[in-house]
Amino acid sequence: MLIQYLCHTRMISPPAPRNLLSFLVFFILTASGFAQGVIDDQPKIFFRNERTWSGSLVSNGWAVNYRFARRNDAFSSMIFDADFASIRHPKEIQSQSPYKGGWGRTFVFGKLNEVFVVRAGAGYQKEIFSKFDQGGISIRYFGTGGVSLGLLKPIYYQKVVGYNPQTYELLIEEKSPFDPDYMQSIYDIYDKESFFIGLDEVRINPGLFARAGLCFEYSSEDDIINALEGGIQIESFLNKMPILAIEDNKRLFFSLFATYRFGKVLDARRRMQTPSSGRQK
């Protein structure tokens, strides 16, 4: 019955891969239009290390990132990434207790664990088109890979186990994990327990990840970073991630991401730029 409930109830999930892909295609097709502007003949930063932060919408969750880019030459860098992210199951269903009159905690019916991921990786980035207009866009490609630590925090519920025939009050069992044999609908759940219950029971599931994408940097100031990124990521864990109380839990995750990145240039050395080529001299 649980599987039927998951299959026939409307699913509310993170942005679908199709929506993210449409956004990326739209941005790439319109980027050239934004790149037209007034020629900027001010001294440009030639060697530049970069420190940036970002937030991402991912087809199976979300992520925040810190990146340090160490310049190899005028157009390529070594990059070092640190992420904190969430992973969601595509069959998650957002629900709320029918007993709380809209004041209860929202929860995902059938969910066993919240899954968070800490990642650390390194990779390579190369600029393939440089800015030479005010308000122009530089385009880079990048690829990174590294280690992942999946963190599984158990979710607890307040389970409805009956009612008092004399007072007609519900009988509640607190701090109950999701029980697929008993909890067949949201009417078997009085409420979700606090997020902080179960933090002392977090389990670790190690893994590896790799990602690749394009970066469109559009800041009008040469020592400030403002960029949009998009790409693909693949991640594999040692064991399956028990997110929902169904058999369709995976250890391999493929996702698309769209990212806004911001930061600044460190240790800048400036040179003049040749407008006609977009290259430094």
Q: Minimum mean pLDDT among 85-89, 179-183, 202-206, 233-237: which range?
A: 179-183
Q: Say if 74 falls within a structural domain.
A: yes
Residue 96: per-residue pLDDT: 87
Q: Minimum mean pLDDT among 7-16, 39-48, 179-188: which range?
A: 7-16
Containing structural domain, residue 235: 14-153+194-275
Q: What is the average per-residue pLDDT within 174-185?
A: 92
pLDDT classification of 23: cutoffs 50, 70, 90: low
Q: Minimum mean pLDDT among 132-141, 186-195, 243-252, 257-266: which range?
A: 132-141
Which tops the pLDDT comparison, 192 or 22?
Answer: 192
Q: Minimum mean pLDDT among 41-45, 137-141, 154-158, 166-170: which range?
A: 41-45
pLDDT classification of 20: cutoffs 50, 70, 90: low
Pick from 199, 117, 114, 111: which is nearest to 150 by CA?
Answer: 117
Q: Of all residues in the chain, what percent carry a pLDDT higher than 90?
A: 62
Q: Say if 171 falls within a structural domain.
A: no
Domain count, the chain: 1
What CATH number has the domain bearing residue 138?
2.40.160.20
What tens digit of pLDDT does each residue of 88-137 get? Answer: 999 998 888 888 877 788 999 999 999 999 999 999 999 999 887 767 89
Q: Where are the beta strands (DSSP E) in 165-244?
A: 170-177, 189-192, 203-217, 224-237
Q: What is the average per-residue pLDDT within 213-223?
A: 92
Task: Name the range with the highest mean pLDDT among 27-41, 162-176, 253-267.
Answer: 253-267
Q: Say if 185 falls within a structural domain.
A: no
pLDDT classification of 221: cutoffs 50, 70, 90: confident
Q: Say if 280 falls within a structural domain.
A: no
Beta bridge partners of 54: 65, 261
Residue 270: per-residue pLDDT: 54
Residue 238 backbone phi and psi in degrees, to 5: -65, -40
Residue 133: per-residue pLDDT: 72
Q: Minimum mean pLDDT among 128-132, 140-144, 257-261: which range?
A: 128-132
Q: Say if 177 falls within a structural domain.
A: no
Which tops the pLDDT comparison, 210 or 45?
Answer: 210
The type of residue at 279 is R
Pick from 201, 172, 14, 238: which is nearest to 112 by CA?
Answer: 201
Q: Say if 178 falls within a structural domain.
A: no
Q: What is the average per-residue pLDDT within 75-89?
A: 96
Q: What is the average per-residue pLDDT within 224-240?
A: 97
CB of 234 within 8 A of CB of 244? no
Task: Name the range with the highest mean pLDDT among 82-96, 132-146, 203-217.
Answer: 203-217
Q: Minimum mean pLDDT among 84-88, 90-94, 148-152: which range?
A: 90-94
Nearest-angstrom CA–CA distance, 62 and 259: 10
Burial 11-20 (b: 16+ CB within 10 A, else e): eebbbebeeb
Q: Say if 161 falls within a structural domain.
A: no
Q: Say if 234 falls within a structural domain.
A: yes
